[in-house]
Structures are given as C-alpha cells and as structure tokens.
Structure 1
Amino acid sequence: MVVLSGCESWAMSLLRSIDVIHAALSTETKQNFQTFSSQVQCLVYGDSAIFPANVQRKRYRDKLGSESDFIIFVDSEFTIDAFAGLSGTLKAGGILFLVIPSRDEKLEQSLFFKRFYSLLSKMPSHTIITESQASVLPLHFDVDNPVKLSATSTYPHGCITQEQYSAVIAIKKVLSGQRKRPLVLTADRGRGKSSALAIACAQLMKEHEQDEFDIVITAPDVQALSVFYRQLKQSLNCVEQQGNTITFGKVKLTFMAVDQLIRSPIKLNLLLVDEAAAIPVYLLEQLLRSYHRMVFSSTVHGYEGAGRGFTLKFKKVLDRLCPQWVNLHINQPIRWRENDPLEQLVFDACLLNAELPKLKTTLAPQPPTYGKGSSVEKAEVLNKSNEPVFKVISAKELVADEALLKQVFAILVTAHYQTKPSDLQLLLDNPQVQLTCLYSSKNNDAEMLAVALLMNEGKGNNVSDADIRAIKHSERRLRNHFLPQSLFSHCGFEQAFNYKYLRIMRIAVHPQIQQQGIGAQFIHYIELLAKEQGVDFIGASFGVNPELLSFWLNAGFSTARIGFTKDKASGEHSALLIKGLVVKSKQEQQSFKRNFYQSFDYLLLEEYRALTTELVFLLLRQNSKGDVSALSERDIANVQAFSRGERLYSSCCYSLYLWLKQDLLSETKCHSTEVLQQSLVLVARLIQKHDSDSVCQQFGLTGKKMLNNHIKNYVHLRLNTAIN
C-alpha cells in the first residue's frame, strides 16, 4: 500500500507519473474511464470529484472475488468494509493507493484511523508520502507491457496449487463416497477456494453430461458467486445459461436461495454452500437435515462474516448429525504470495485474526429475575466475589490496550455471524456507542465472558426538529437512531424522539459458556445501566427466529414490529423488540405490543406468509388475553361439536380459529415436545391458513382425512385438559 497524504489534486498529479494509471486518468469521460484498458484493471472507490469512482459506494461487494492491478481509495469517510473487501481483489504486484487529504487531521478525528496508521507505520513494506515530502512517485509501469504475476496452472484440471487440486478431489468424493459425509472447505481470501468448487463442478458435469444430473449452489447472495461462475464457464468452454441455471448436456447447475431450499426441499445430486459463515448456523443445520451430499465452503477470516463463529458452532452440529464429516483447509495463497504485507495489514487493522482465548473455568450462573433491579441491587451483586462483574469500557481504554481490544473483538466476531470491520470503526469512533463487558470476577486474572455494543439514541443525541420533520416527510433517514426512527416511521409513534433509548446492537457470549444463562444475566446488568443513565427504553433489532425471540421475550421485551422483507443472508425477517424502563415508557410498550397483534393475523396472509410455524406459535403465545376475541356460546358449541365428530371442519373453522387463539394463551398448556408438535399443526392450518396439502407435507400427515382427525383429536384433548 502507498498512502498519499495531501490535497487530492497533488495526489492526482503524482499518480499520473505512473504510466498505466496516467493512461486511465487521462480519459475525458467517466464512461471511458471505467473501461480504460483491457490489460490492466484499476478500481477507484470513494466520494472524490477529482477521482471519479468506477466502484459504486454501496455495490463494492460486486467486485469481491474479482482481480485488480491497482486500487485508488479516496473516501472521506474511510469506509473500512469497502477498504478491507476491495483490498482482497489485488493480485501479486498490485498496489493500493490510499489518498487522505490531511493525515494529522484524520489522526485527531478518528481513534480507529489513529490505530490503523500506527499499524501501517510499523510495516516497512508500505509507503507513506506526504505532500511536503515528494513530488514524484518512485514507481514506473509500462502500460504496453504490464508485469505478468498471475499464477499459472501446474496441476490437472487447471488447478494452481496442490492444495487446490486436493480440494477438487475431495469435492468430487462427496458425490462418489457414502451419504451424510459432508465436506467443509475453509480458507482465507485469495486461496482459490471458489475456483476449486467450480473446477470440481465442471469435472462432474463433464462426467455426467449424458445423465439427468442436478447440482445446486447457494450463498448469501448470488453476487458472491462471480468467481465461481467465471471459473465454471472457463472450465467448461461451452455452456448455456438462462437466469441462474447453467446447462451442460443434460446436467443442470442452479443457484437457489437458502430459505427456498429449506422451505421446499428438492431432489438433487449435490448441494454446494459457498460463504457458509455468512449464513446462520441453524439454517445450515436445516440444510443438513434435508440434503445428504453437501459441500460447505467458507472464508475463515471473513471481512464481513464470522468465519470462526461458523467453525466453532457448525462443527458441533456436524459432530452431532454427521460424525464422519470431512474437514479440509487451504493455506497457500494463489492471488498473491505468502505473508503478503497488505493482507497482514488488513487482518491486523480489522482484527480479523484476533484469536479467541480459551476459558479456564466453566460457569453456569442462574438467570436473574427481570424488572426488579436497582442500583443498590447492582452494587450488592458486583461485590460478591463469585458473581460476574459488569464493566463499561471506553474507546480510549481500548486503543491504549491492544490485548483488551483483541479480546473484545474476538468474542464479537466468533459469537455473531454478521460482525464486520465497520463494527470496530463504530466502536472506536462513534460517541453514541458504549461498550460493556462481563467478567468472571473482579480479580486481576478475571476472564471476559461476554461483550455488548450499545447505542444511545433519541432525545439528547443531536436530533433537531428539522430532522424529525424530514423523517416524517420521508426526506431523510438519521444514522444511529434506529429505534426512535423505526417507531416513528413504521409504528406511528409521533412522540418517538421525546424519549431516550439504549439499543443493544450486538450482544455476544463466549461460545464456551453459551446456553448457561450468561446472556440473560448480562441483559439484566445492561438494563440497570440504562436506568442509571435515565434511559426510557432499551431495545434490539435482529433477524428473528424462535431461539433468539425466546431469549428476548424471556428478558421482558415485547415485539413492536416485524419487517416485511427478508434478510438476504439469513432469509429471516427483522424483528424490533422494546422494553420500557419507566412508568410512561412501560405504558407505551404495551401500546406497541397491542398494535402489533391487531394487524398480525391479517399480515400472516401476505407479508408474513413465510414466517415459520414455530415462530408464529411463539409470537401468538405472547399476546394478551384481553386483546383476543372472546368466544360466544355458539363458538363454544361449534368447537365441542367438532371435537365429538359431529361437525365438519369447514363449517366451524372460524370458531376453531378463535378457540385456538384463546387456547394458546391458556396457563394449562402442556409444553411437552409431543403436544407442542400437535399444536403447530393447528397453527399452520387455522391461523396461517396454509392449505391442507402443504400442512400434510410439512408435518408428515398422509392426507386431508388424517389432518382433520389430528385437529379433532387435539381439540378433544385440550377441552378435556381444561375441564380436568
């Protein structure tokens, strides 16, 4: 990397001294600039008027997996996710030019950049040039004779390294070997992992050209597969492509989204999951249960996804479901040489290689009782030597203690699948952010158990009346005010910005002690902190699934909103949960909850149609009895008659629907797995309004007659339970 610290016009004149870049920058139009050379690829990212960008600010991910010779990064916000992502496109011999107007000003403004610059200064491979120091770059490139540094094939099928060839063999063996022996292929960027998947697919497609043969590949986004598709077409030479399907002879290779594969399982010969670390583990587990010949490929030190979280959590699932699974890791880089200085800088600056410490002790504290905390109780708890200790840590403390910073981020990255480098930037530079940690004790050798990133939002955080008016008229969206903005815009809460909020952006427990009540206890401490700071609401937003929703509901939060669209990576709808901490905000919390359930049934028929039955069941269990329609005498008579086999389903289904909503709130409800499974059938049919064929397929029933008998038997059981 070469840092050019000075005005942009000076940097531009300096870069023109490089022949190949001069040829690019000399073009008069932006359109020509974007396609200046077929020989040399130069990416320009940022918001500079002097350096017209050819990478869209929000579409930089489209370039991931591609290759470039030069990158010019001129971004006033120093968007670290884009920086980290694009840096991986550089080939061996490539240079990343970072243009910053004033180094000293940037160092004063940003703790993140101060740390970044400190790491950079200690690495002699990189160069820093200031406007007062130099007028010419000591570099020369001939545009007509670019340096050829790309690796060449020395192994069969076009493989570049022995490790890549071994990966191709291992992928093919998944198909020829025994079922339920999935392969997990891991590597850092630039190791040829995606190309190995494509080469193996190409070989299989050639071998089965005359057979009805189906390969499906999935990923967080089809854009992430650009390298895969390019290599596949190169290896096959002649293919037909229509939409997301590539055909070679009778063989088909199709991209399908994860949620589609889970919702409607299909017959296939091989399933490939690329960038698996960016997909929640519970979704990967559902894939494992539905398909038996699979390859999971993932980046370990992900620039936007927790590779190690995937490694730790998913391997436990594999050990349980497929104990003979195979693991293969590719070490040797292909796009650049080993120990590449730019890769090392990005790893260190973004803490992508922060190693998770192993805990010496295993703790299993009991979750606290919510809603009864006070500052006095907090002091008593913290003084007990056998209780976890809650601390708030400032950004300055983190920058001054690299070991502490690495420890914090290692837990965040490992425990949360969507942690990004920008989270580190946010943690160090955003004054609205607070970092809280939970330690095993107050001793000097105490171990870090959990980490949470908290955002102060709403009243008292630089929101003007003009901002609120602009939001109301859909003219702008405020950064760092997600909770009040969402309540204002989506829930019609006109007074949203009159309250103070503490949003729990990230909460991560060390994987070694998860599922032991630590997270619940941590939430309790955060709530006490919020009360001390005069906060009205605490809240959170996340991709909703039954496990996560249960955690937040058990902590006293209630659902204010569920988004109408699904996240591309997880296939989940986002949920907004809120908890009031004072009398007035508690009343508003009940109002949000009531408003949510008033429209929930209606939205289940369209916007929420894809919600899982388990999730709908859990949500309905949180409704208030007073907000559920009472049963008339006729409804009760209809339900009783149906349970005795005296009425047809269709003639009394509305009465059954009203009865089920009441029954789900009954205190006598048995929580055994068997009864839960039985009630889910009724939720799917009566409340989600799924057709009988879909419900039968979902729950393994043979037909409509068996389905109606199931409903009748369940109603009869519950009526008798209520009587007894």
Structure 2
Amino acid sequence: MVILSGSEPWAMSLLHSIDGIKAALSTDTKQELLASSSLAQCLIYGDSSVFPANVQRKRYRDKLGSESDFIIFADSDFTIDAFAGLSGTLKAGGILFLVIPSKNDKFENSLFFKRFYSLISEMSSHTVIGESQASSLPLCSDLDSQLKVLATSTYPHGCVTQEQYNAVVAIKKVLSGQRKRPLVLTADRGRGKSSALAIACAQLMTAHKHDEFNIVITAPDAQALSVFYRQLKQSLISAEQQGNTITFGKVKLTFMAVDQLIRTPIKVSLLLVDEAAAIPVYLLEKLLRSYHRMVFSSTVHGYEGAGRGFTLKFQKVLEKLCPQWASLHINQPIRWREDDPLEQLVFDACLLNAELPTLKTTLAPQSLINDKSSSVKKTDTLNTTDEPVFKVLSAKELVADEASLKQVFAVLVTAHYQTKPSDLQLLLDNPQVQLTCLYSSKKNDAEILAVALLMNEGKGNGVSDADVRAIKNSERRLRSHFLPQSLFSHCGFEQAFNYKYLRIMRIAVHPQIQQQGIGAQFIQHIELLAIDQNVDFIGASFGVNPELLSFWLSAGFSTARIGFTKDKASGEHSALLIKGLGVKSKQKQQSFKRNFYQSFDYLLLEEYKALTTELVFFLLRQSSQGDLSTLSALDIANVQAFSRGERLYSSCCYSLYLWLKQDLLSETKSHSTEVLQQSLVLVARLIQKHDSDSVCQQFGLTGKKMLNKHIKGYVHLRLNTEIN
C-alpha cells in the first residue's frame, strides 16, 4: 500500500505517471469510465470529484473475488468495509493507493485511524508519501515486471496449487463416496477456494453430461458467487447460462437461497454451501438433515468469514449428525505471495485474524446479582468459581491494550454472522457506543466470558427537533438511533425521541460456555447499568427464530415489531424487542406488545406468510389472554361437535380458530414433542391459513382426509385434557 497524504490534485499528478492508471484518470466522463474495458484492472472507490469512482459506494461487495492491478481509495469517510473488501481483489504485484488529506480533523480525532496509522508505521513494506516530500513515485518504475509474478497452472484441471487440486479431488469424492459424509473446505481469501468448487463442478458436469444430474449451490448472496460462476464458465466453455442456472448437456447447476432449500427440500445430486460461516449454524443443521451429499466452503479469517467460532459451533453439529465428515484447509495463496504485507495489514487493522482464546475458567452453580435497588429478577445460574466481574471499557482503554481489543473482537465475531470491520471502527470512534465485558474474576489475568456492544440512543444523544421532523416527513434516517426511529416510524410512537434508550447491538458469550446461563446473567448486568444511567428502555433487533426469541423473552423483553422483509443471509425477518425500565416505559412496553398482536394475524396472510410455523406457534404462546376474543356458547358447541365428527371442518373453522388461540395459552398444555408437533399442524392450517395441500406436504400427511382426521384428533385430545 502507498498512502498519498496531501491534496487530491497533487495525488492525481503522481498517479498520472503510471500507464496502467493514466487511462482511467484521463477519461472525460463517468459513463465512459464505467464502460471502458481498459480499466478492468483499476478499481477507483470513494466520493472524490478528482478521482471519479468506477466502484459504486454501496456495491463494492460485487467486486469481492474479482482481480485488480491497482486500487485508488479516495473516500472522505474512509469506509473500512469497502477498504477491507476491495484490498482482497489485488493481484500479486498490485498496489493500493490510499489518498488522504495531510491535515484532516476526522482522521486525527479517530482512534481507529490512529491505530491503523501506527500499524502502517510498523510495517516497512508500506509507504507514506507527503505532498511536501515528493513529486514522483520512484517505486513504480519497474511495476510492469512486478505485475507478471502471478502463479501459472501446473496441476490437472487448471488448478494452480497442489492444495487446490487436493480440494477438487475431495469435493468429487463427496459424490462418489458414501452418503452423509460432508466435506468442510476452509481457507483465507485469495487461496482459490471458490475456483476449486467450480473446477470440481465442471469435472462432475462433464462426467454426467448425458445423465439427469442436478447440482445446487447456495450462499448468503448470489453476488458472492461471481468468481465461482466465472471459473465454471472457463472450465465448461460450451455451457449455457440463464440467470443463476448453468446447463451442460442434461446437467444443471442452479443457485438457490438457503431458506428456499429448507422450506421446500428438493432432490439434488450434490449441494454446495459457499461462505457457510456467514449462515447461522442452526440453518446449516437443517440443511444437513435434509440433504445427504454436501460440501461446506468458508473463509476462515476475513471479510466474509466468522473465524473459529463457526468451526467450534458447526463441528458439534457435524459430530452429532455426520460423524464421518471430512475437513480440508487450503493454506497457500494464489492471488498473491505468502506473507503478503497488505493482507497482513488488513488482517491486523480490522482484527480479521483475531483468534478466540481457549478458556481455562471452570463453572460452578452460584447465585446471581444481589442488589436490592434493582428491579432485575434474581435467578440461579452458572458462574465461575470466582465471582464474575462486569466492566464498561472505554475506547481509549482498548486501544491502549491490544491484547484485550483482540479478545473482545474475537468473541464478538464468533457469535455474529455479520460482524464487519466497521464494527471495530464504530467501537473505537462512536461516542454513543459503550462496550461491556463479563470477566471471569477481578484478577489481572481474568478471561473474557462475554462481550456486548451497546448504543445510547434517543433523548440526550444529539437529536434535534429538526431531525425528528425530517424523520416524520421521510426525508432522512439517523444512523445511530435505530430504536426510537423504528418505534416512531413503524409503531406510531410519536413521543419516541423524548425517551432514552440503550440498544444491545451485539451480545456474545464465549462458545465454550454457551447454553449455561452466562448470557442471561450478562443481560441482567446490562439492565442494572441502564437503570444507573437513567435509561427508559433497553432493546435489541435481530434475525428472529424461536431459540433466540426465547432467550430475550425470558429476560423480560417483549416483541414490539417484526420486519416485513427477510435477511438475505439467514432468510429470517428481523425482530425488535423492547423492555421498559420505569413505570411509564413499562406501560408503553405493554402497549407495543398489545399493538403488535392486534395486527399479527392479519399480517400473517401476506407480510408474514414466510414465517415458520414453529415461530408463529412460539409468538402466539406469548400473547395475552385478555387480548383474545371470548368464546361464545355457540363457538364452544361448534368445537365440541367437530371433535365428535358431527360438523364439517369448513362449517366451524372460525370457531376452531378462536378456540385454538385460547388453547395455545392454556396452562394445561403439554410440552411433549408429540403434542407440539400435533398443534403445529393446526397453527399452519387455522392461523397461518395455509392450504390443505401445503400443510399435508409440510407435515407428511397423505391428504385432506388425513389432515382433517389429525385436526379432529387433536381437538378431541385437548378437550378431554381440559375436562380432566
């Protein structure tokens, strides 16, 4: 990397000395710039008028996996996610030019950028050139020869390294070997992992050209597969592509979203899951249960990966479901040489290589917080042999202690599938953010058990009346006020910005001690902190599923809203949960909950029609008995008559619907797996209004007659349970 510290016209004059860049910078209009094929290897990113960008600000992810010789990064906001992502496109011999002003308050006041700059100063491979220092780029004289150091193919099928060839062989073996022996292929970026998938697919498609053969590939986003598709078309020259489907003879390779594969399992010869670490483990488990020949590919460190946390959590699932699973790791880079200085800088600056430490702490049952002034519910939980310590750490403390910073970020990355480099920037530079940690003890060598990123929002955090008016008129959105803004815009809470909020942006427990009560304990500490800071509400937003929802509801939160669109990676809708801490805010919490359930049934027919039946069941179990319609004598008679076979389903389905909603809240309801499965059928048919064919397919029933018999049997069982 070369940093050009000075005015943009001066930087422009220096870059004009490089032939490969000169054409890009000399183009008269942005449209010509974007269309010019000669600029394919020069990426320009940022908001500079001097350096017209050929990478759209919000579409830089489209370039992940592509290759470039030069990058010019001239962005006044220094968008670190784009910097980290685009840096991986550079080939061996390439240069990233970072253009920054010599004097810039934004950079000088940024702890993130100061740390970034100090890391550069420790690495002699990178160069900083100031406007007063030079009028030329002496290091670029032999650049053309440097750009020719890329590795060439010396292995079968166009593979570039022995490790890549081994990966291709291992992928093909998944198809020829025994079922239920999935392969987990891991590598850092630039190692040819996606190309290995494509080469193996090309080999299989060629071998089965005359057969009915179906390969499906899934990923968090179809755009993440650009390298895969490009390599596949190179390996299969006569293949035809329509959208995300490639046909070769009778063979088809198709992209399908994860939630679609789970919702409607299909017959496939081979299923590939690329960037698996960016997909929640519980969804990967559902794929494992539905498909028998699978390859999971993932970036271990880096922009697209989730590090060791993915390995730890997914390994447990694999051991349980597929004990004969295989793993393969690609070490050797293909796009650049080993120990590449730019890769190392990006890893260090963005903590993409922060390794999760193994905990030595032992756990023992112990009572929790003891504070009479707290409204927090006291429960028994698991704790360390020493009393855990809850701390709020400042950004300055973290920057001064690199080891702690790495530990904090490593724990955060393991538990969240979409942690980005900008989260580190947010942590160090946003004054509204607080970092809290739960340590194993008060000792100096105490280990970090859990980490939470908290955002102070609403009243007292820089929101003006003009901002509120602009939000009301849909003229702007505030980046660091998610809770009040959502309650204001979506829940009709006109006074939302008159209250103080503490949003739990990220919360993560070390994987070794998850499912042992530490998360619940941590939430209680955070609540005490919020009370101490005179906060009115604490809240959180996350991709909703029954397991996560159960955790938050058990901590006293309630659902205020579920979003109408699904997350691309998980296929989940996002949920907004809130908890009031004062008398007035607790009343508002109940109001939000009541309003949510009043419209929930109606929205199930359209906006929420993709919610899983398990989630709908769980949500309905949290509604309030007082908000339900009272069963009339006629409704009760209808339900009883149906259970005796005296009434048709269609003639009393509304009475059955009203009765089922009451029954779901019944304290006598058994929680056995069998009864739960039976009630899900009724939820899908009566409340979600799925047609009988869909319900039969979902629950393995042979037809409408069997479905009605199932509903009748369940109603009869529940009525007898109530009587007994």
Do Structure 1 and Structure 2 share a fold, with TM-score over 0.5?
Answer: yes
Q: Structure 1, residues 245-285: CA drift from partner, whole Å, max 9, x if none?
A: 11001100101111111111111100011111111111111
Change over 3 Å in CA distance of 1:385–1:184 after alignment to 2: closer
Per the alignment, residue 161 of structure 2 pairs with 161
Per the alignment, residue 578 of structure 1 pairs with 578
- Deviation of residue 721 (structure 1)? 1.6
CA contact (8 A) 2:23 2:39 kept: no
For residues 607 and 584 of structure 1, what CA distance do their matches in structure 2 show? 31
Q: Does 1:280 align with 2:254?
A: no
Q: Secondary structure at the match of 2:645?
A: coil
Q: Structure 1, residues 503-538: CA drift from partner, whole Å, max 9, x if none?
A: 000000000000000000100000010000010000
Q: Does 1:523 align with 2:510?
A: no
Per the alignment, residue 207 of structure 1 pairs with 207
Q: In structure 1, give the amino acid aligned to 2:279.
A: I
Per the alignment, residue 428 of structure 2 pairs with 428
- Deviation of residue 23 (structure 1)? 2.6
For residues 384 and 570 of structure 2, what CA distance do their matches in structure 1 show? 40
Per the alignment, residue 26 of structure 2 pairs with 26
- Deviation of residue 14 (structure 1)? 1.4
CA contact (8 A) 2:302 2:353 kept: no
Q: Secondary structure at the match of 1:133?
A: coil
Per the alignment, residue 170 of structure 1 pairs with 170
For residues 674 and 462 of structure 1, what CA distance do their matches in structure 2 show? 53
For residues 344 and 644 of structure 1, what CA distance do their matches in structure 2 show? 72
- Deviation of residue 37 (structure 1)? 5.1
Q: In structure 2, give the amino acid aligned to 1:559.
A: T
Matched ranges for 1:29-68 at <5 A: 29-36=29-36, 38=38, 41-68=41-68
Q: Secondary structure at the match of 1:345?
A: helix
Q: Structure 1, residues 295-349: CA drift from partner, whole Å, max 9, x if none?
A: 0100000314413222111111001000000100000000000000000001111
Q: Structure 1, residues 135-165: CA drift from partner, whole Å, max 9, x if none?
A: 1111336899883232211000000000000
Per the alignment, residue 563 of structure 2 pairs with 563
Unaligned runs of 5+ in 2: none
- Deviation of residue 416 (structure 1)? 1.5
Change over 3 Å in CA distance of 1:58–1:376 after alignment to 2: closer
CA contact (8 A) 2:27 2:33 kept: yes
For residues 640 and 246 of structure 1, what CA distance do their matches in structure 2 show? 56
Matched ranges for 1:703-718 at <5 A: 703-718=703-718
For residues 366 and 541 of structure 1, what CA distance do their matches in structure 2 show? 30
Q: In structure 1, give the amino acid aligned to 2:288.
A: L
CA contact (8 A) 1:211 1:250 kept: yes
CA contact (8 A) 1:625 1:662 kept: yes
CA contact (8 A) 1:305 1:419 kept: no
Matched ranges for 1:148-547 at <5 A: 148-363=148-363, 365=365, 374=374, 386-547=386-547
For residues 144 and 95 of structure 2, what CA distance do their matches in structure 1 show? 18
CA contact (8 A) 1:24 1:37 kept: no
Change over 3 Å in CA distance of 1:25–1:77 after alignment to 2: same
For residues 705 and 232 of structure 1, what CA distance do their matches in structure 2 show? 48
For residues 373 and 592 of structure 1, what CA distance do their matches in structure 2 show? 26
- Deviation of residue 368 (structure 1)? 5.6
CA contact (8 A) 2:363 2:384 kept: no
Which of 538-547 and 638-647 deviates more? Answer: 638-647
CA contact (8 A) 1:209 1:248 kept: yes
Change over 3 Å in CA distance of 1:718–1:191 after alignment to 2: same
Change over 3 Å in CA distance of 1:291–1:370 after alignment to 2: farther
Q: In structure 2, give the amino acid aligned to 1:271.
A: L
Change over 3 Å in CA distance of 1:640–1:37 after alignment to 2: closer
Per the alignment, residue 69 of structure 1 pairs with 69
Q: Secondary structure at the match of 1:329?
A: strand
Change over 3 Å in CA distance of 1:412–1:230 after alignment to 2: same
Q: In structure 2, give the amino acid aligned to 1:329.
A: H
Per the alignment, residue 645 of structure 1 pairs with 645
Q: In structure 2, give the amino acid aligned to 1:151.
A: A
Per the alignment, residue 670 of structure 1 pairs with 670
Matched ranges for 1:89-128 at <5 A: 89-102=89-102, 105-128=105-128
Identity percentage of aligned residues: 86
For residues 128 and 427 of structure 1, what CA distance do their matches in structure 2 show? 26
Per the alignment, residue 689 of structure 2 pairs with 689
Q: In structure 2, give the amino acid aligned to 1:473.
A: N
CA contact (8 A) 1:375 1:532 kept: no
Q: In structure 2, give the amino acid aligned to 1:400.
A: A
CA contact (8 A) 1:365 1:518 kept: no
Q: In structure 1, give the amino acid aligned to 2:187.
A: A
Q: Secondary structure at the match of 1:271?
A: strand
Unaligned runs of 5+ in 1: none
CA contact (8 A) 1:351 1:409 kept: yes
For residues 34 and 146 of structure 1, what CA distance do their matches in structure 2 show? 26
Q: Secondary structure at the match of 1:525?
A: helix
For residues 104 and 79 of structure 1, what CA distance do their matches in structure 2 show? 15
For residues 698 and 32 of structure 2, what CA distance do their matches in structure 1 show? 54
CA contact (8 A) 1:19 1:141 kept: no
For residues 550 and 517 of structure 2, what CA distance do their matches in structure 1 show? 13
For residues 274 and 645 of structure 1, what CA distance do their matches in structure 2 show? 51
For residues 245 and 545 of structure 1, what CA distance do their matches in structure 2 show? 30
For residues 376 and 592 of structure 1, what CA distance do their matches in structure 2 show? 21
Q: In structure 2, give the amino acid aligned to 1:703.
A: G
For residues 239 and 694 of structure 1, what CA distance do their matches in structure 2 show? 36
For residues 40 and 655 of structure 1, what CA distance do their matches in structure 2 show? 65
For residues 275 and 446 of structure 1, what CA distance do their matches in structure 2 show? 34
For residues 73 and 666 of structure 2, what CA distance do their matches in structure 1 show? 60
Change over 3 Å in CA distance of 1:440–1:179 after alignment to 2: same
CA contact (8 A) 1:154 1:160 kept: yes
- Deviation of residue 7 (structure 1)? 1.2
For residues 709 and 370 of structure 2, what CA distance do their matches in structure 1 show? 42
Q: Secondary structure at the match of 1:508?
A: strand
For residues 597 and 535 of structure 1, what CA distance do their matches in structure 2 show? 26
For residues 369 and 532 of structure 2, what CA distance do their matches in structure 1 show? 18
- Deviation of residue 443 (structure 1)? 2.3
Which of 714-723 and 540-549 deviates more? Answer: 714-723
Per the alignment, residue 626 of structure 1 pairs with 626
CA contact (8 A) 1:505 1:540 kept: yes
For residues 710 and 147 of structure 1, what CA distance do their matches in structure 2 show? 69
Q: Secondary structure at the match of 1:58?
A: coil
Which of 59-68 and 132-141 deviates more? Answer: 132-141
Change over 3 Å in CA distance of 1:8–1:365 after alignment to 2: farther
For residues 653 and 615 of structure 1, what CA distance do their matches in structure 2 show? 22
Q: Secondary structure at the match of 2:453?
A: strand
CA contact (8 A) 2:33 2:39 kept: no
For residues 259 and 23 of structure 1, what CA distance do their matches in structure 2 show? 45
Q: In structure 2, give the amino acid aligned to 1:353.
A: N
Q: Structure 1, residues 557-612: CA drift from partner, whole Å, max 9, x if none?
A: 00000000100011000000000000111111111111101110011011111101
For residues 99 and 242 of structure 2, what CA distance do their matches in structure 1 show? 42
- Deviation of residue 198 (structure 1)? 0.4
- Deviation of residue 666 (structure 1)? 1.1
Q: Secondary structure at the match of 2:38?
A: coil
Paired residues, number: 721
For residues 119 and 267 of structure 2, what CA distance do their matches in structure 1 show? 51
Which of 705-714 and 423-432 deviates more? Answer: 705-714
Q: In structure 2, give the amino acid aligned to 1:667.
A: E
Per the alignment, residue 608 of structure 1 pairs with 608
